[in-house]
């Protein structure tokens, strides 16, 4: 029997994905490399630390506020152009702004260890920012759930900020119970003929 689990904060309200009565999904622009920070903000919304209005009006935040400090960190990194982010960048941005509200835990062991870390975090209702890599691809996704059968977890469910808005709990799926030979062993089911590897993960937890 298959069981689908999503973190408890998520629900569908009038066809819209919400958490704490706030819209969750944030769509990444097609010209930026900011998938990591988009995942950070979706995670903060899920945890109830920021709301959708704040996340979509960031540039109105004053520099002395927590959001203002996060905006400063984003500007310093220049992530809204093409630079992208590493796991330590995301940790630093959060520690400079929301360290009193959020604790983070990271895993950069790659492969199965990142998958197991992600599953364990989801079981504790912690959203997980997961770094994947494929041929000509480096991307961050926000893990929000999984599918489990008698043999263990078979799929991880994600919110992908570069994909279309979802009326479901997720808009992206990676199959984890079957691995293929080669550098990129896992099938990204929502992308045709796309295989990836897991590199890093960072879980967000209420302090």
Q: Which domains does the chain have, with CATH numbers?
A: 3-206 (3.90.70.10)
Closest by CA to 140, choosing from 67, 77, 86, is 86
Percent of the chain with pLDDT over 70: 90
Q: Can you read off the two tokens belonging to residue 85?
A: 């982010």
Task: Count Cβ neighbours within 10 Å for each residue of 48-66 and write b for 16 or more, e otherwise.
Answer: ebbebebbeeeeebeeeeb
Question: Is the pLDDT confidence value at 81 over 50?
Answer: no
Give the pLDDT mean for 94-101.
88
Q: Can you read off the two tokens belonging to residue 34?
A: 């900011």
Q: Looking at residue 64, what is its pLDDT?
A: 66
Q: Looking at residue 55, what is its pLDDT?
A: 86
Distance CA 128, CA 154 (A): 17
Where does the pLDDT of residue 32 fall: very low under 50, low under 70, confident under 90, or very high at 90 and above?
A: low
- Residue 146's beta-bridge partner residues? 5, 156
Q: Are 110 and 198 in contact (CB under 8 A)?
A: yes
**3-state SS class at 58:** helix
């Amino acid at each position: 029997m298959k069981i689908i689990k999503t973190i408890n904060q998520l629900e569908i309200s009038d066809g819209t994905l919400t958490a704490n009565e706030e819209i969750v999904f944030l769509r990444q622009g097609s010209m930026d490399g900011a998938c990591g920070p988009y995942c950070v903000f979706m995670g903060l919304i899920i945890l109830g630390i920021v709301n959708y209005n704040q996340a979509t009006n960031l540039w109105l935040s004053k520099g002395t506020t927590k959001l203002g400090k996060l905006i400063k960190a984003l500007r310093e990194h220049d992530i809204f152009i093409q630079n992208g982010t590493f796991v330590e960048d995301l940790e630093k941005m959060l520690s400079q702004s929301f360290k009193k509200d959020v604790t983070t835990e990271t895993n950069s062991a790659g492969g199965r260890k990142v998958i197991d870390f992600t599953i364990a975090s989801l079981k504790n209702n912690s959203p997980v920012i997961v770094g994947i890599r494929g041929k000509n691809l480096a991307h961050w996704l926000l893990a929000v759930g999984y599918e489990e059968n008698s043999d263990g977890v078979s799929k991880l469910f994600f919110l992908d900020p570069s994909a279309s808005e979802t009326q479901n709990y997720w808009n992206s799926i990676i199959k984890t119970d079957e691995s293929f030979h080669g550098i990129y062993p896992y099938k990204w089911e929502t992308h045709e003929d796309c295989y990836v590897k897991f590199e890093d993960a960072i879980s967000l937890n209420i302090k």
